[in-house]
Structure 1
Amino acid sequence: MDRRKIKDIFCYGMTLAGVFLIFIFALLILYGLYSLRNTLISVLFPFLASFIIAYLLNPLLEFVCQKNISRSVGIFIIYLAFFLTLVLLSINVIPSLMGEMQKLLVKVPMYSSQIQQFIVEMQQDYHRFNLPDSIRSVIDTNIDQFQGLILDLLEGFTETVINLFSHIILLVLIPLLVFYILKDLENIKRFIYKMIPHKYRGRVRAAAEDIDKTLGAYVRGQIFISIFVAGMVYVGLLVLGVEFALLLAIINGVTNVIPYFGPIIGAVPAFFIALLESPLLALKVILMITIVQQVESHVLTPTVFGKNLGLHPVIVILSLLAGGSFFGLLGLIFAVPVVAVIKVLFKHLRKNKFI
């Protein structure tokens, strides 16, 4: 074997070893991030929320600044409008929501007792039949597991509400962070672009504008549709006389941003609250939410979006499963936008022959 061939083999071996080490290093970083995900989310949440809010408010700020108004004054006008809206909400909506949450926390033990009584009645009903012991044992086990699941869900909801109020101080930072991000957004963009080599700057700018066009339309459209769904569900629950109508409507609006599974997740709490009142009321609630979702999916969504993100349903479902597994509810909400951004990036990388 000549020296040139030995040198080539050595180079290939070193390259493979380097790629392998980089892969292992990347896996270790991902594992470390996954291990610290709860801490990272709690620390980065104010900054992430501030960037998202600033991103959503920037088009409104640009519109205000077209009237020869400085960005600082424009931000003040937006904050003033937001403050007045918050005052109006505080008069009616927020006290009602707080009252419903307090009432729900008080009623959680009663609901738990009702569920346990329902399970006991189920056990008594099927014990009347002469079933084999093996089948009866399986049914008993599944009923016990179902009971534990319901109780865990109720306790988890209570803990979530308590944790939300315990971290309310962090939310004070968000308006301050949003102000500075909006005020210096152009400087932030220029700083980022200056870090990119000049020959790639135009391509990166084109990709960023494409991402902004795709993501901005999706996020703002989803917010508008979610507000519509929450409003319609709230009116429907009020008409049907379901307790906690405002809280349940907000849950429906928030979960509606999750494709495919969101409407189902949002309907579950309303269904169970109505079921504890009467099976007929639960059926009416499901029928009402189904009608709202049909209007949303067949009328409102095509009008707002015009066209979807171009993601295959399989990709959407896989991204939801991955996002939900790693980051819970936040993962479910942000999974599809993140995948949409990745798709746009890949499109520009292929267009510029990087891959």
Structure 2
Amino acid sequence: MFRWETSSLMRFFGGRNLYFLLGVVLLLGLNILVYTHVSFLFHPFVVLIETIALPVILSVIAYYLLSPFVYLLVKIGINRVVSIFIMFLVVAGLITLLIFLIIPFLERQFVDLAEEFPDYLTQMGNSLDQWLKNSMFASYYEDLSSDLTGITQDIPANIAEYGGRTLEGVTSFISQLTSVIIAIVTLPFILFYLLKDGNKFPERIVTLFPPRIRDDLRTVFYGIDHQLGAYIQGQILVSLCIGVMMYIGFLIIGLDYALLLASIASVTSIVPYLGPAIAITPALIIAIVTSPFMLFKLIIVWTVVQLLEGKFISPQIMGKRLHIHPVTIIFILLTAGHLFGVIGIILAIPGYAMLKVIFSHLFYLFKRRFNSFAESRDKYEIDQ
């Protein structure tokens, strides 16, 4: 009996395949150990990945935004290549319109805000200073001010110390700028081939694997494609809606730099939960300096926009496709930001959605195997 249970247990976990899997894991661990000692040999590959990562990511985002329109053009009888060129012309026209009509106005608002923002901060600091001196926290504030005085005396020395790092910062900026230029130049070419043959790519990968697992791989690829498409398309639409609503609200209450602040809110809203908190900061500072009543009106506008977005817009556009709890999203964003910076924050949710599809299907396969094993064991016990 003991031997049968042991044999059944090994058979449940894959029998000889379990030993093969353990051997693969052991070899993978050895490879990682070796890599840590000879990592300099792989530096060219790391540079290659870092170079192509940005254009590939941007191309994938653009692919999910444009592929529905290309599909519609193909569906009405237009050749796929012609449909892609039509979409390229439309996008180029929109970008040109944006550059000549909206960007100059935003640039003027940005320059004006950059010039006046230090004054806003100074006025807000003076108001806060006067309020603290006349509040119940006055004694604590005086002690804190004396401590800060000693710190501010060391500022010139700190400036001299960190001034030597300016060249390093400039070099890093030039490197990042070069990566962005490469991404912009290569983006149309990668995007063209994605739109042309992107739907065939998963099937070509599937054919590289044994036939018995191809159906499972197709299911995983379909789930990943569905999750990424739903998230990217939905999040862009939600962000545009937030930007339009914020702009209308800022115009109604008469807040300065309405278009610029609404654009910032729209862009940062791509990052769930954390983005809106970042976007409200400059608007809050301007409203506080303007008047207490302006601050009250800004809070009303922000609350109304967030309620509309959370109760009506996101449920209609995004639906329940990702099935991710808000607390989980916050932890994912914080962890990804700490590990990978801004890029990690942007890619955290779609990356989590991909991993969730993969592990959900693996868990499904595990349950299917367990149910099959349980049924065979029950049948064996009945026969005995």
Normalised by the shorter chain, which TM-score bucket? 0.7 to 0.9
Q: CA deviation at 1:333?
A: 2.9
Matched, 1:82 2:91: yes
CA distance in 2, matches of 1:323, 1:17: 28
Q: Which residue of 1 aligns with 2:329?
A: 316
Shift in CA distance, 289/128, structure 1 to aligned 2, threshold 3 Å: closer
Name the SS for the 2:323 alignment partner.
coil
CA distance in 1, matches of 2:267, 2:38: 32
TM-score in terms of structure 1 length: 0.76
Count of matched residue positions in the alignment of Structure 1 and Structure 2? 324
CA contact (8 A) 1:111 1:276 kept: yes
Q: CA RMSD in A?
A: 4.0
Q: Which residue of 1 aligns with 2:78?
A: 69
Name the SS for the 1:243 alignment partner.
coil
Aligned residue runs from structure 1 range 15-30, under 5 A: 21=30
Q: Which residue of 1 aligns with 2:238?
A: 225
Q: Which moved more, 1:340-349 or 1:52-61?
A: 52-61
CA contact (8 A) 2:70 2:84 kept: yes
Q: Which residue of 1 aligns with 2:274?
A: 261
Runs of 4+ in 1 over 4 A off after TM superposition: 14-30, 36-43, 122-129, 139-146, 162-168
Name the SS for the 1:184 alignment partner.
helix
**Aligned counterpart for 1:169 among listed residues 181, 195, 200:** 181
**Aligned counterpart for 2:142 among listed residues 129, 136, 145:** 136
The one-letter amino acid of 1:169's match is I
TM-score in terms of structure 2 length: 0.71
Q: CA deviation at 1:176?
A: 3.0
CA distance in 1, matches of 2:150, 2:71: 57
Shift in CA distance, 53/143, structure 1 to aligned 2, threshold 3 Å: farther
CA contact (8 A) 2:206 2:214 kept: yes
CA distance in 2, matches of 1:346, 1:29: 32
Q: CA deviation at 1:88?
A: 3.1
CA distance in 1, matches of 2:46, 2:126: 39
Name the SS for the 2:98 alignment partner.
helix
Name the SS for the 1:282 alignment partner.
helix
Name the SS for the 1:352 alignment partner.
helix
CA contact (8 A) 1:275 1:281 kept: yes
Q: Which moved more, 1:230-239 or 1:269-278?
A: 269-278
Q: Which residue of 2 aligns with 1:278?
A: 291
CA contact (8 A) 1:119 1:143 kept: no
Q: CA deviation at 1:319?
A: 0.7
Q: Which residue of 2 aligns with 1:182?
A: 195
Shift in CA distance, 266/136, structure 1 to aligned 2, threshold 3 Å: same
Q: CA deviation at 1:248?
A: 1.3
Shift in CA distance, 224/17, structure 1 to aligned 2, threshold 3 Å: closer
**Aligned counterpart for 1:343 among listed residues 356, 362, 373:** 356
**Aligned counterpart for 1:107 among listed residues 116, 130, 137:** 116
Identity of aligned residues (%): 31
Q: CA deviation at 1:345?
A: 0.7
Deviations 1:18-56 (A, max 9, x none): 6864675798999xx9xx999966752122111221132
Q: Which residue of 2 aligns with 1:49?
A: 58
Q: Which residue of 1 aligns with 2:207?
A: 194
The one-letter amino acid of 2:88's match is Y
Q: CA deviation at 1:190?
A: 4.0
CA distance in 1, matches of 2:38, 2:339: 15
Deviations 1:132-156 (A, max 9, x none): 7xx732465579999x9xxxxxxxx
Q: Which residue of 2 aligns with 1:153?
A: none
CA contact (8 A) 2:84 2:192 kept: yes
CA contact (8 A) 2:202 2:221 kept: no
CA contact (8 A) 2:124 2:288 kept: no
Name the SS for the 2:256 alignment partner.
coil
Larger Rg: 2
Q: CA deviation at 1:214?
A: 2.6
CA contact (8 A) 2:238 2:314 kept: yes
Shift in CA distance, 25/261, structure 1 to aligned 2, threshold 3 Å: farther
CA distance in 2, matches of 1:39, 1:125: 60
Q: CA deviation at 1:316?
A: 1.9
